[in-house]
Amino acid sequence: MKIPRRQFLHLAAGAAALPTVSRIARAQVFPSRPISMIVGFAAGGPTDTAVRILAEAMRASLGQNVIIENVTGANGSIGVGRVARAAADGYTLSAGGWDTHVMNGALYPLSYDVVQDFEPISLFRSAPYLILSSSGDCPALC
């Protein structure tokens, strides 16, 4: 079977262009749906207040709703466990601190692994703890 020259050139050009066309992928724009931020403490506390301030800035910059959910109990490990079971797609975030992401994992058996199941995104707040005393009150420590 003999292929006409013009048809052969069309097939050759199509075969040459195929590898470049097939690599073009259209990704979904992030975020395309609301983001949930899980706080393991009651509403109105310091962690909840800081997360709500952060969520307002995220709403403005991302152009998408950010929903704050307070899932309380067990020093925040119930809320963190809920995030660990969620799909790893970036739409469910955990907001916590030293107590929820370090101390709970060191003291209690948990249904999730804090090191393996989570990826830190950002430090958005720092709350240092200090013990202060006058020099005359604690001769054993000073």
- pLDDT of 98-118, one tens digit each? 888 888 888 889 999 988 999
Q: What is the mean pLDDT of residues 52-61?
A: 93
Helix (H) or strand (E) holding 134: none
What is the span of the domain harbouring residue 67? Answer: 35-117
Q: Could you give the number of structural domains in the chain? A: 1
| Residue 126 lies inside a defined structural domain of this protein | no
Residue 37 φ/ψ, nearest 5 degrees: -115, 120
Between CA 37 and CA 104 the distance in angstroms is 19
Q: Is residue 5 part of a domain?
A: no
Residue 58 lies in a domain: yes
Looking at residue 141, its pLDDT comes to: 53
107 in a domain, yes or no?
yes
CATH number for 49: 3.40.190.150
Asked, for residue 73, whether it belongs to a domain, the answer is: yes
Check residue 25 and give its pLDDT: 60
Q: Is the pLDDT higher at 55 or at 30?
A: 55
Kindly report whether the global pTM for this prediction surpasses the value 0.95: no
Domain for residue 133, yes or no?
no
- Is 90 exceeded by the pLDDT of residue 59? yes
